[in-house]
């Protein structure tokens, strides 16, 4: 026995009407007699009729489904974003298909292929750290697929985008370290091709400059896998330790990198903020319980997911092409957790 749904046909047969009449009763308000309409609606209600969305999709050539490409579901930042995406999508009657790039360009490409083959109505994309080539994305965009980029955007493709104010977030994080007395602040960041990496780097550099601290390339380490491979963070830090100018603080510019840093510091028995200052972008939920608690830059992930989805649905549902492609910028939040001031002042000269 298969799960069988009630169809319009069943109603028509039961009521001795034609399918078109039933359909009209269920949709229209005019062009149908009140009695018939009432009859149909009551019966439909009674047997719990649900229109078959697949048949509707075929007819309307709309799947009411949007595709999402993220790095990893099991990552606080992304799962919060997905939460936001789902909340808006569901409210508007859309389904969401999620796929993960795991920061690999190949996986991202095959996901793209998979999603477009599933006849989705639109696409939410945060590109992988490996993605240098945007031909695939560009092609499906040119073929008319609505796309909204979030977080890791692609400048070359003209469409709506949602990002956080990475520059200011990084600026304030760095500024905070400086105000705490650190002067040799290293920066651990994602693959330099990523938009977020560039913007955060710029914020970091500007903060240094504004406080009269010399920029120093040896203090900047790129993790091209975004910290997916734990080892790369350790190698980056090892290189930093070996610098002539040894860092006294680290600004880590993603969740994975921040947690990775914490792990390595622990492993090497380096305590922050006494031996080493630390601040990072993080949306995880235990940073405040560390001892000492870690100050972080928190991103409005849920809101980003919501906003990106709203923009995508606008693209999907608008009858006319949208010309003014907005880039919406959300504020980050610098969460300063103290109990550390005393130790830090020792470091101050």
What are the residues binding a second copy (CB under 8 A)? Answer: 1-5, 50-55, 57-58, 61, 63, 65, 72-76, 79-80, 82-83, 86, 90, 95-100, 114, 116-119, 140, 143-146, 259, 262-263, 266, 284-287, 289-291, 302, 321
Pick from DNA, a second copy, none: which does 63 bind, CB < 5 to 8 A by kind? a second copy
Q: Provide CB contacts within 8 A for 294, sequence distance 6+.
A: 258, 262, 272, 278, 279, 280, 282, 287, 288, 337
Min separation Cβ 262 and a second copy, Å: 5
Say how far apart CA 241 and CA 248 lie, in whole Å.
Answer: 10
Residue at token pair 């995406």 = 85
Residue 189 Cβ vs DNA, minimum distance, rounded to whole Å: 44
Q: Which does 36 bind (CB under 5 to 8 A by kind): DNA, a second copy, none?
A: DNA
Tell me: does residue 45 bind DNA (CB under 7 A).
no
Cβ proximity to a second copy: between 269 and 324 the closer is 269
Q: Each residue of 29-47: b (16+ CB within 10 Å) or e?
A: eeebeeeebebbeebbeee
Token pair, residue 181, equals 């007395």
Count Cβ atoms within 10 A of the Cβ of residue 71 and give its class: 0-12 exposed, 13-18 middle, 19 or more buried: buried
Judged by beta carbon, residue 120 or residue 219, the one nearer a second copy is: 120
Q: Are strands 333-335 and 296-298 parallel, antiparallel or unpaired?
A: antiparallel
The stretch among 34-42, 164-172, 260-268, 285-293 that binds DNA (CB under 7 A) is 34-42
**Contact partner, 90, from a second copy, DNA, none, Cβ < 5-8 Å per class:** a second copy
Which pair of structure tokens corresponds to residue 95?
A: 């389904």
Instruction: Please report, as ranges, the residues that interact with DNA according to CB under 7 A.
Output: 5, 7-9, 16-21, 23-24, 26-27, 30-37, 51-52, 55-56, 58-59, 61
């Amino acid at each position: 026995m298969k799960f069988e749904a009630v169809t319009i046909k069943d109603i028509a047969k039961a009521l001795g009407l034609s399918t078109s009449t039933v359909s009209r009763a269920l949709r229209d308000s005019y062009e149908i007699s009140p009695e018939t309409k009432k009859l149909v609606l009551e019966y439909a209600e009674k047997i719990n009729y649900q229109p078959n969305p697949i048949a509707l999709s075929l007819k309307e050539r709309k799947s009411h489904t949007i595709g999402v490409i993220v790095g990893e579901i099991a990552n606080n930042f992304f799962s919060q974003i997905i939460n936001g995406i789902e909340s808006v999508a569901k409210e508007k009657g859309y389904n969401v298909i999620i796929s993960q790039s795991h920061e690999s360009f190949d996986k991202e490409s095959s996901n793209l292929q998979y999603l477009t083959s599933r006849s989705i109505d639109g696409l939410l994309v945060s590109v992988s750290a490996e993605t240098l080539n945007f031909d695939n994305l560009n092609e499906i965009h040119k073929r008319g697929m609505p796309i909204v980029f979030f977080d890791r955007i692609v400048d070359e493709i003209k469409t709506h985008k949602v990002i956080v104010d990475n520059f200011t977030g990084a600026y304030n994080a760095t500024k905070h370290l400086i105000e705490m007395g650190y002067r040799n602040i290293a920066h651990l960041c994602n693959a330099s091709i990523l938009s977020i990496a560039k913007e955060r780097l710029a914020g970091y550099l500007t903060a240094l400059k504004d406080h009269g601290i010399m920029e120093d390339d040896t203090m900047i380490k790129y993790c091209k896998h975004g910290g997916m491979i734990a080892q790369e963070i350790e190698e980056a830090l090892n290189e930093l330790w070996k610098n002539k100018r040894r860092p006294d603080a680290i600004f880590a510019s993603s969740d994975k990198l921040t947690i990775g840093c914490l792990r390595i510091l622990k492993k090497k028995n380096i305590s922050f903020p006494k031996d080493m200052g630390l601040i990072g972008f993080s949306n995880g939920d235990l940073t405040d319980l560390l001892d000492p608690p870690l100050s972080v830059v928190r991103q409005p992930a849920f809101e980003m997911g919501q906003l990106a989805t709203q923009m995508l649905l606008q693209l999907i549902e608008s009858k006319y092409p949208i010309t003014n492609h907005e880039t919406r910028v959300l504020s980050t939040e610098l969460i300063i957790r103290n109990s550390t001031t005393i130790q830090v002042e020792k470091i101050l000269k």
